Homo-oligomer: A and B are copies of this chain.
Amino acid sequence: MAERFEIVQKALVKMLEEKKYATLRDILITMNPSDIAGLFTDLEDNQIPLMFRLLTKEQAADTFVEMDPDAQELLIKGFSDNELKEVLDELYVDDAADIVEEMPANVVKRILKAADPEMRKSINQILRYPENSAGSIMTTEYVSLRPNMTVEEAILRIRRQGVDKETIYTCYVTANDRTLLGLISVKDLLLADDDETRLKDIMLTNIISVTTQDDQEKVARMLSKYNFLALPVVDGENRMVGIVTFDDAMDVLTEEATEDMELMSAMTPSEKPYLRSGSIDLFKNRFPWLTLLMVSSTFTGLIITSFEGALSKVVALTAFIPMLMGTGGNSGSQSSVTVIRALSLGELKFRDIGIVLWKEVRTALLCGIALAAVCFAKIWLIDHLLFGNEEITLLVDLVVCLALALTVVIAKVVGCTLPMIAKALGADPAVMASPFITTIVDAVSLLVYFMFAKMLLPI
Contact = CB atoms under 8 A, between A and B. Distances in A.
Contacts of A382: 298
10 contacts: A162-B190, A253-B257, A274-B356, A277-B359, A280-B366, A289-B330, A290-B330, A298-B378, A304-B321, A322-B442
Given A253-B250, A311-B318, A434-B333, A293 B326 contact: yes
B319 A304 contact: yes
Nearest to A331: B290
Contacts of A318: 304, 308, 311, 318
Given A297-B327, A304-B319, 12 more contacts: A158-B190, A162-B190, A163-B191, A224-B250, A254-B345, A265-B434, A267-B338, A283-B363, A291-B371, A297-B322, A300-B323, A301-B322
A322 B342 contact: no
Contacts of A265: 264, 330, 333-334, 336-338, 433-434
Q: How many copies of the chain does the oligomer comprise?
A: 2
Given A162-B191, A163-B191, A286 B321 contact: no
Interface stretch (A48-56, A118-126, A225-233): A225-233
B30 A327 contact: no
A322 B293 contact: no
**Chain A interface residue number, banded:** 35 or more
B301 A323 contact: yes
A63 interface: no
A383 interface: yes
B224 A352 contact: no
A250 B158 CA distance: 28
Given A205-B30, A345-B258, A367-B283, A325 B327 contact: no
A129 interface: no
Interface string A248-285: 01110110011011101111000001110111101100
A375 interface: yes
- Which 9 pairs show the lowest CB-CB distances between chains A and B? A257-B257, A279-B362, A274-B342, A227-B247, A265-B337, A300-B322, A297-B323, A301-B319, A279-B363
A15 interface: no
Contacts of A286: 331, 334, 363, 367
A383 B360 CA distance: 37
A80 interface: no
B326 A295 contact: no
Contact of A389 (B155, B283, B305, B356): B305
A229 B289 CA distance: 40
Nearest to A289: B330
Contacts of A356: 274
B246 A334 contact: no
A361 to B, nearest CB: 8
A30 B254 CA distance: 32
A411 B328 CA distance: 21
A402 B306 CA distance: 25
A169 interface: yes
A11 interface: no
A371 B290 contact: yes
A238 interface: no
A366 B268 CA distance: 16
A322 B304 contact: yes
A382 B434 CA distance: 26
A274 B316 contact: no
B274 A301 contact: no
A79 interface: no
A132 interface: no
A160 to B, nearest CB: 9
Contacts of A224: 247, 250-251, 254
